[in-house]
Amino acid sequence: MPMLRVVSALALVCACASSSATVVRPSASPTSAAELPGAWERLSRALPGTWTATTGSGKELRVVYKLISNGSALVEAWGAGSDRETQTVFHPDHAGIMLTHYCAQGNQPRLVATAADATTYSFAWRDVTNKQPDQAMMIARRLVLDGDASHLDETETYRGSDGRDEVTTYHFVRAP
């Protein structure tokens, strides 16, 4: 995968700033969120609360979704209290939805919603900040809720530094 070097105008002016940044662009990535009227309202009503899943090794995963900032952002927290805690912040982008994933690796991929209906939300990679050449990054995400929002299938696609994709699906149930 080719790496592009982008020189920041600010870096040229400020001697203390970094003179370049590495930008990684997977092919066919959207540049802006799709127009998805009503998608943010549906997602922000369906997800808040605690969800649990059991991995293939029998380990329980807990994910908490919480609305913040007067309902304008939805924070997802995985592994709360651990040194590998991650957060993803979903937010409306006009009639679309974006997310920023604050990865435990230290990079922050941003994805945009490319499709949404009453139960399914698909996100595709837009860009990433702070990615090191040896790190993987999230490039796609899909959330599928059942009709009564008691079950959530969450599929993540990560692209490794070798260019290969790894897809993982988690099957969550809403915690009582």
DSSP 103-126: -TTS-EEEEEEEEE-SSEEEEEEE
Query: Is 3 a member of any domain?
Result: no
Helix (H, G, I), strand (E, B) or coil at 49: strand
- The Cα–Cα gap between 139 and 107 comes to 12
The H or E element spanning position 14 is none
In this predicted structure, what is the pLDDT of residue 30?
60
Percent of the chain with pLDDT over 70: 81
∠169-175-176 over CA atoms, to 5°? 160
Query: Is 17 a member of any domain?
Result: no
Query: Is 5 a member of any domain?
Result: no
Query: Is 21 a member of any domain?
Result: no
Q: What range does the domain containing 158 cover?
A: 28-174
* Overall pTM > 0.85: no
Query: Is 49 a member of any domain?
Result: yes
User: Among 8-22, 57-71, 144-158, which is the least confidently predicted range?
Assistant: 8-22
Helix (H, G, I), strand (E, B) or coil at 132: coil
Query: Is 156 a member of any domain?
Result: yes
Per-residue DSSP letters for 17-32?
S-S-EEE---TT--SS
Q: Which residues lie closer than 8 Å to 102 by C-beta, 6 or more apart?
A: 86, 87, 88, 89, 108
In this predicted structure, what is the pLDDT of residue 83?
78
Domain CATH code at residue 136 = 2.40.128.20
What total of structural domains would you count in the chain?
1
Query: Is 19 a member of any domain?
Result: no
Query: Is 162 a member of any domain?
Result: yes
Q: What pLDDT digit, counting tens, does each position of 55-114 carry? A: 888 888 999 999 999 999 999 999 877 778 899 999 999 989 999 999 999 999 999 999
In this predicted structure, what is the pLDDT of residue 47?
97
In this predicted structure, what is the pLDDT of residue 84?
84
